Structure 1
């Protein structure tokens, strides 16, 4: 069963960066709300619950440090990733002291931010282990590492099984090629791509138009089970 998308609040007074980040994360399947500054973000935080906050430091009226300090007075757990054009160690330390979970210096690549978000969410979101996932009638059991079509066992190579298990354990979230290569016997990004192609032939209704094992541009892949 597919989990609900994580709700992310992006706070940045730079219209271009805020819109780019919102669109990029939305395309990855996240539910994204954007705020153009600390004042607007404060109001949103009073009305909505977020799974993670991407917070710029340098903002007028209420800067990121002030907003983070305000947030941590009542909310000790919602993860926060700080964005700043300032890369000084003192600023990073200040953010971490106030309760930030991670820090990314501008200019940054959206792909790196997405990977950091996925990593933080994996650390803080505690969920019941998924035992099975369903994909267009096929069922993959993570414990037994078996893919079945009804009562019929679908044959997978060891590499395909490892790959599918990692993707299933992170269902709905992007997983980098590097992480897939390191976690399987593929050993190289290119080998991951080859095994993904073979895996799609066994899982996808139309391997040329995959709906379950999706390519995440510039990052890697994401497994989307049936809802």
Structure 2
């Protein structure tokens, strides 16, 4: 990967983000770009799901309500433009914001994307911070779901999602960075199952075992009975769910 690509897709290190906790769908046939976008946007607080082509994206959108969809225009088979038209034609997804990404920056291409119903259009390569700002601007315009409270209560424990601090029975609990980020992601989607693999920032961990280890440790810090968790629950076949008071 070139230095330009490194800068364009945020590999130089995490950039502090708003932690808005929206659920984004990234659709790109390039595995490398898709995973880089997932990694960067996850650091910014977003819950991110990826799809390698339009058919997979359609299946996901028929099952899950996304806050915004980021589409690559140039994909084999059905293009991002065609998928945008499909999103706008379906009643269930017609109001879902769409941001198009493409290596083609001709004015005609931008006009075509916007005429199909896209909310915005970005040309590759781009600065990752600009992508986040564009996403935030779209969500503001389209009236995204409200952000939850700063703190959540879990029995005798309180988790501060801004400071990433966990207090139980008046005593601070030490959290690793990975544990804190996992708990924050679950807290932002409280009472809703979160896919196990989407909780793992390490794309090399295809088994998800690292997430399971972190969940086990968090339960020891949260639960009165870690073997019979009340707050950090397992959702079989999906992943985990946080159920605060």
Bin of the TM-score, shorter chain as denominator length? 0.5 to 0.7
Task: Give the aligned partner of residue 43 of structure 1.
Answer: 59
| Matching residue within 95, 105, 123 for 1:77 | 95
- Displacement, 1:123? 1.5
RMSD of the alignment, in Å? 2.8
Where 1:108 maps in the other structure, the secondary structure is coil
Where 2:81 maps in the other structure, the secondary structure is helix
Distance change in 2, residues 1:88/1:27 (3 Å): same
- Displacement, 1:71? 1.0
Distance change in 2, residues 1:58/1:122 (3 Å): same
Task: Give the aligned partner of residue 121 of structure 1.
Answer: 139
Task: Give the aligned partner of residue 179 of structure 1.
Answer: none
Distance change in 2, residues 1:21/1:107 (3 Å): same
Hey, what's the Cα distance between the residues in 2 that align with 1:107 and 1:19?
15
- Displacement, 1:76? 2.3
TM-score when normalising by structure 1: 0.54
Where 1:43 maps in the other structure, the secondary structure is helix
Hey, what's the Cα distance between the residues in 2 that align with 1:127 and 1:11?
22
Is residue 118 of structure 2 the alignment partner of residue 100 of structure 1?
yes
TM-score when normalising by structure 2: 0.51
| Matching residue within 15, 18, 33 for 1:17 | 33
Aligned 1:22-171 pairs, distance under 5 A: 22-74=38-90, 75-125=93-143
Checking the alignment, whether the CA contact within 8 Å between 1:39 and 1:61 is kept in structure 2 is no
Deviations 1:102-130 (A, max 9, x none): 10001112111111111111121256799
Task: Give the aligned partner of residue 145 of structure 1.
Answer: none
The higher-RCO structure (CA 8 Å, 6+ apart) is 1
Hey, what's the Cα distance between the residues in 2 that align with 1:28 and 1:62?
30
- Displacement, 1:48? 1.0
Deviations 1:17-58 (A, max 9, x none): 111000000111111000011111111111111000000000
Which structure 2 segments of 5+ residues have no match?
A: 1-18, 153-157, 161-187, 189-244
